């Protein structure tokens, strides 16, 4: 080893590089041109060769990053609201009386639940309903927090009813009271996070995300509330789902779904399924809402076994079932009129005041690969091998490792193996569901594959680090590998993925473009990084429209061998166990185009989600998304549109700027007012700006979320002067990361295009994994206490 230097070896101009977007360009590794992907593809002559003959692309230096402003959090109590005199009389004694009544109400609810169960109303094992619950999971801590939040909610409900408080007055009326001044003072103790000096000065994040913000220790912690861009909208001001502006019922989400959404093949011209898959990975890192459960943790049944509605006396108060019309083109075949839906668990409000409900995020809000490591210390410990810094795996003899088995065998879950009718073979004995930091690795085979790549990369890093630093113990190796892997994921997210989803211009406007070199000093300790409810409840679900109903297995020659039908494979990872398949899925992800974000969704999600084998039907994800938005109290499309800089529509015809006339006609038939349109369904249908997969409103919500996640994270990978900051040599190496490199280093895929999110083309050709076109991380800057090392660096 010689001296490690940072100098770029100048790249010889083998080819003359044309101007790109009017700017001088230079030949570089394709990964360094990721944010310019659209211009590079559309400008002739941008395919070039790096000095050693490997393919590169011509593109300019990164454009100037404006310092976009974060949006302000909405104020809970609008100062213009004047409290009516009887509301002003409200005092702590009335709150305490209501709290007693609220506690009593909760006990009644439990009795009611027991009565309903004894009537034989329960979720049947293996049903799509049971699988939906499994998707959400449930832990004792989240159940405990939800219960405490429920006490606060019941208290608020009693106050509102007794004092007849108008929903507009509710926020100001209730936010005057803090828990600590009432009989509920001992509730929500999880908000009292404690951090010691070691944690605050640690180079490594905590596992549950706490102690990241030094002044607000809870910010970003798992099991805390989602944040709001706009205040919530509930019919009673605290929790009842909204009604139409004219006071009537809103259209059923299933009716909206069948009226607006169809299953047509509309593939993207340039994006691969990796684009969808990485989105889901981010989703499982950042968020996990949980549905409420019965006291004992079992799922709540909200429809009768025969697919009809339950009678009012058998309906649990946490149910919010979706109506299916008798003439539904699909479900009518099964005589089904009820689609089960359970409301999301509540969090303790960060302000610990009385007020509207806020939903809980069971994952750490940060981009910290909690889906690999877990969102709390106990889960993290279960995942560790406790030697050499590694994570647990399932060893496969001569083959590469798989995720460890989950060991969870809830009696309600459908089997993790495929039925013989589908696979043609008897279920192999070694097939188990997988365990990871997030509870949904098995949701589809390609999700399991993606989780596997990150698991293998962790163990690969730990092994390499151990070679460089034989004196490091298990803990040090684990934490250093974890810190590197998280940074790689953050770099991929902001360098390769996000510029394709929201477009370079939006990235630039908000200052989200990654730096090409040097450190960032972007950290803003006043910014809450927390996930926004409009993001989780609507905007980031845009990815559902990109899903391919028939994921392909493609071989090393890039020839499609087979495709699977998604409906058979939810929570059945069996295909991943077949030797060779994992690689074929990986190549499929890099070959098959993803679908566009629009009114077209695969039927695998809208009629067959979590289908129980042999039933012929499952759930409708579009309807669930719309209902979830109402459950979470999201304001409607028009308000978000206005927040995001478009003119508020006075009537339906004002929507012509962003919507097709046919769609506006459909909205008119469904909704009685333009102010009633649900955010999710409008968002996916907005016209897309050039180079963006999503329309302006989702673009704005997503961009703001990623701004908060970057500037509100004290451990963001390119920050300077923080305990977790890298040296400049280390940061230089982290910036070499690409999704292609992670796949190359952790599978038996040997050729890949440098940007796996884009289909193969001139400026993104298939290259060998050994090629400098897919640069490798050099871990020598992590070698400790050694003489300055040096070697010849290439890019
Ligand atoms: C085959 C692929 C996918 C399946 C089967 C799937 C399934 C689901 C289901 C069942 C839910 C819960 C619905 C409810 O509220 O009841 C959900 C939520 C969600 N999905 Fe997906 N999804 C897929 C892909 C994606 C992708 C590609 C993205 C993003 C790019 C995404 C983002 C989200 C988000 C943000 C939520 C909210 C999560 C939460 O509240 O915890 N999903 N998805
Ligand atoms: Ca996380």
Residues annotated within a binding site for heme b: 544
What is the C-alpha to C-alpha distance for residues 157 and 455, in angstroms, rounded to an integer?
A: 46
For 448-500, the pLDDT digits (tens) are: 999 999 999 999 999 999 999 999 999 999 999 999 999 999 999 999 999 99
Specify the range with the lowest mean pLDDT, choosing from 273-277, 409-413, 684-688. 409-413
d(CA 152, CA 538): 26
- Which ligand 1 atom is the nearest neighbour of the CA of 362? 41
Q: What is the pLDDT of residues 661-698, one digit of tens each?
A: 999 999 999 999 999 999 999 999 999 998 999 999 99
**CA–CA gap between residue 434 and residue 443 (Å, rounded):** 10
248 — alpha (psi -120 to 50), left (phi > 0) or beta? beta
ipTM of the complex: 0.99
- Angle among Cα 76, 77, 81 to the nearest 5 degrees reads 150
Q: Are 625 and 541 in contact (CB under 8 A)?
A: yes
Is 362 strand, coil or helix? coil
Nearest of 374, 510, 524, 484 to residue 436 by alpha carbon: 374
Give the H/E segment covering residue 465: helix 445-468
Which of left, alpha, beta for 15 (phi over 0: left; psi -120 to 50: alpha)? beta
Ligand number nearest CA of 212 is 2
Radius of gyration over every alpha carbon of the chain, rounded to an integer in angstroms: 26
Could you tell me the distance, in angstroms and rounded to a whole number, from the CA of residue 364 to the centre of ligand 2?
4
Element (H, E) at 594: strand 593-595
**Which protein residues have a CB closer than 5 Å to ligand 2 (ion)?**
285, 363-364, 366, 368, 370
Ligand 1 neighbours (beta carbon < 6 A): 135, 276, 279-280, 283, 287-289, 443-444, 536, 540-541, 543-544, 546-547, 621, 624, 628
Whole-prediction pTM value?
0.96
Q: Work out which ligand 1 atom sits closest to the CA atom of 291.
A: 16
Please report the pLDDT score of residue 136 as a whole number.
Answer: 82
- Inform me whether the pLDDT recorded for 126 exceeds 60: yes
pLDDT > 90 fraction of the chain, expressed in percent and rounded: 88
DSSP string, 490-538: HHHIIIIIHHHHH-HHHHHHTT-SPPSSS-B----TT---PPBHHHHHT
pLDDT score recorded for residue 57 = 95
- More confident position, 794 or 733: 733
Q: What would the two tokens of residue 530 be? A: 């927390």
Closest by alpha carbon to 704, among 496, 510, 489, 538? 510
pLDDT value for 5: 53
pLDDT level of residue 309 (50, 70, 90 thresholds): very high
CA–centroid distance for 177 within its chain: 34
What value does the mean pLDDT take over residues 279-294? 97
Question: What angle do the packed helices 621-631 and 253-260 form, to 10 degrees?
Answer: 140
Q: Give every CB contact of residue 748 below 8 A, 6+ residues apart in sequence.
A: 400, 580, 583
Whose tokens are 């108060």? That residue is 317
Please report the DSSP string for 304-335 in residue order.
Answer: -TTSSBPPGGG--TTB-PEE--TT-TTGGGGT
Distance in angstroms between the alpha carbons of the first and the last residue of the chain: 18
Q: Which atom of ligand 1 is nearest to the CA of 543?
A: 30
- The residue contributing the CA closest to ligand 1 atom 20 is 541
For residue 364, the CA-to-ligand 1 centroid distance in Å is 17
Q: Which of 531, 544, 594 to mutate to test the pocket of ligand 1 (most atoms within 8 A of CB)?
A: 544
User: Two tokens at 529?
Assistant: 């990084």
């Amino acid at each position: 080893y010689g001296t490690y230097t940072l100098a770029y070896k100048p790249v010889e101009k083998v080819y003359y590089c044309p101007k790109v977007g009017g700017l001088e360009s230079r030949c570089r590794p394709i990964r360094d041109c990721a944010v310019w992907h659209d211009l590079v593809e559309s400008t002739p002559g941008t395919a070039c060769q790096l000095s050693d003959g490997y393919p590169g692309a011509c593109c300019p230096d990164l454009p100037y990053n404006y310092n976009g402003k974060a949006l302000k959090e909405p104020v809970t109590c609008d100062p213009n609201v004047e409290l009516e005199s009887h509301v002003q009389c409200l005092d702590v004694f009335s709150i305490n009386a209501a709290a007693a009544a609220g506690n009593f109400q909760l006990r009644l609810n439990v009795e009611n639940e027991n009565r309903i169960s004894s009537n034989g109303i329960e979720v049947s094992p293996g049903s799509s309903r049971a699988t939906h619950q499994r998707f959400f999971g449930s832990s004792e801590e989240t159940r405990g927090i939800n219960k405490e939040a429920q006490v606060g909610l019941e208290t608020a409900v009693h106050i509102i009813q007794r004092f007849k408080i108008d929903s507009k007055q509710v926020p100001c009326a209730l936010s005057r009271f803090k828990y600590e001044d009432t009989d509920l003072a001992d509730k929500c103790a999880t908000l009292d996070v404690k951090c010691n000096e070691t944690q605050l000065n640690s180079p490594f994040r905590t596992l549950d995300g706490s102690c990241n913000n030094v002044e607000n220790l809870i910010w970003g912690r798992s099991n805390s509330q989602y944040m709001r861009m706009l205040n919530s909208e509930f019919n009673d001001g605290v929790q009842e789902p909204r009604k139409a502006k004219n006071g009537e019922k809103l259209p059923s989400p299933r009716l909206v779904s069948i009226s607006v959404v169809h299953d047509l093949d509309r593939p993207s011209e340039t994006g691969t399924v990796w684009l969808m898959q990485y989105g889901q990975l981010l989703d499982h890192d950042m968020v996990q809402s949980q549905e409420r459960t019965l006291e004992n943790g079992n799922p709540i049944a909200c429809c009768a076994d025969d697919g009809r509605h339950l009678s009012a006396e058998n309906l649990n108060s946490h149910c919010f079932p979706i109506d299916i019309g008798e003439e539904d083109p699909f479900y009518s075949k099964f005589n089904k009129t009820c689609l089960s839906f359970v409301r999301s668990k509540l969090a303790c409000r960060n302000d610990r005041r009385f007020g509207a409900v806020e939903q809980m995020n069971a994952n750490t809000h940060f981009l910290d690969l909690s889906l690999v490591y877990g969102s709390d210390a106990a889960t993290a410990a279960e995942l560790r091998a406790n030697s050499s810094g590694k994570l647990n795996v399932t060893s496969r003899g001569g083959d590469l490792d798989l995720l460890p088995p989950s060991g969870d065998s809830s009696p309600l879950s459908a089997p993790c193996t495929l039925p013989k009718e589908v696979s043609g073979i008897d279920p192999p004995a070694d097939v188990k569901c997988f365990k990871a930091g997030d509870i949904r690795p098995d949701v589809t085979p390609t999700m399991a594959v993606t989780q596997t790549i990150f698991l293998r990369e962790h163990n690969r890093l730990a092994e390499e680090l151990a070679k460089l630093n034989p004196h490091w113990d298990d803990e040090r190796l684990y934490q250093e590998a974890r810190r590197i892997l998280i940074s790689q994921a953050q770099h991929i997210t902001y360098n390769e993925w996000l510029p394709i989803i929201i477009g370079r211009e939006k990235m630039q406007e908000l200052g989200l473009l990654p730096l090409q070199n040097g450190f960032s000093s972007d950290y803003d300790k006043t910014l809450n990084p927390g996930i926004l409810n409009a993001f989780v409840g609507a905007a980031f679900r845009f990815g559902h429209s990109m899903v391919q109903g028939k994921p392909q297995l493609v071989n090393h020659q890039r020839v499609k061998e087979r495709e699977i039908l998604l409906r058979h494979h939810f929570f059945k990872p069996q295909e991943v166990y077949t030797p060779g398949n994992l690689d074929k899925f990986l190549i499929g992800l890099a070959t098959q185009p993803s679908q566009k974000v629009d009114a077209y969704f695969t039927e695998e999600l809208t009629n067959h989600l979590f289908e129980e084998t042999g039933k012929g039907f499952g759930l409708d994800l579009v309807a669930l998304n719309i209902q979830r938005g109402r459950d979470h109290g999201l304001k409607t499309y028009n308000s978000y549109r206005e927040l995001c800089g478009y003119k508020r529509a006075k009537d339906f015809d004002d929507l012509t700027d962003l919507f097709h006339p046919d769609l506006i006609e459909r909205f008119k038939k469904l909704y009685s007012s333009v102010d009633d349109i649900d955010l999710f369904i409008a968002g996916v249908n907005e016209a897309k700006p050039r180079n963006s997969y999503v329309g302006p409103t989702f673009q704005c919500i997503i961009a703001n979320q990623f701004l908060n996640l970057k500037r509100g994270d004290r451990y963001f990978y390119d920050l300077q002067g923080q305990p977790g900051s890298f040296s400049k040599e280390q940061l230089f190496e982290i910036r070499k990361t690409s999704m292609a490199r992670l796949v190359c280093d952790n599978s038996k895929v040997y050729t890949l295009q440098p940007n796996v999110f884009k289909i193969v083309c001139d400026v993104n050709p298939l290259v060998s994994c050994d090629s400098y076109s897919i640069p490798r991380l050099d871990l020598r800057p992590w070698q400790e206490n050694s003489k300055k090392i040096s070697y010849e660096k290439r890019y």
